[in-house]
Amino acid sequence: MNEGRNLPSELGAIRIADEVVSIIAGLAATEVDGVASMSGGIAGGIAEALGRKNFSKGVKVEVGEEETSVDLFLIVRYGSRIPDVAWEVQENVKKAIENMTGLKVIKVNVHVQGVNFPQQAKEKEEETVR
C-alpha cells in the first residue's frame, strides 16, 4: 500500500495516508441521496460481521504526490435515476477530497454494483430488530 502524501511544511512533513483519502471518499459518497450503500468485497463483509464499521468499504484510491484517482463501488436505491446519482457522487467526492486534503482529484469512477429494493431494506431492518 502506498504510504500516502507528503506535504511540505516549515515545521516538518505532513503525511496523509491512502486510507484517509478512502474514508473521505466513502463518507462523501454515502451522503448522496440515492446511494443505498457501498459495495465491499470480502474484507468489508468480514469487518462488518465483527461489528466494526468499514468506512472505506467499496472504495479504491490511487494517491500520487499531488493528485488522486478514486474508484467507488456502490448500490443505488431502487427508483433513483442512476446517471444523476453517479454524477452527484462524483461531484461530492471530488469536492470533499480536494477541500480536506488539498489533493487534485483527476478521476472519480463510479461502478454501480446493484440496486437495493425497498423489500430488501425492510427485511434487513427486521433482522436487526430481532
* Whole-structure pTM value: 0.78
Locate the domains of the chain by residue range.
5-129
SS3 13: coil
H-helix or E-strand containing 119? helix 118-129
Rg (CA), the chain: 16
CA angle 8, 12, 14 (to 5 degrees): 60
Structure confidence by residue, pLDDT tens digits, 1-45: 455 666 666 777 777 899 999 999 999 999 999 999 999 754 444
Q: Which class for 60: exposed (0-12), middle (13-18), buried (19 or more C-beta within 10 A)?
A: middle
Backbone angles phi, psi at 109, to 5 degrees: -95, 125
Could you name the CATH architecture of 5-129? 2-Layer Sandwich (3.30)
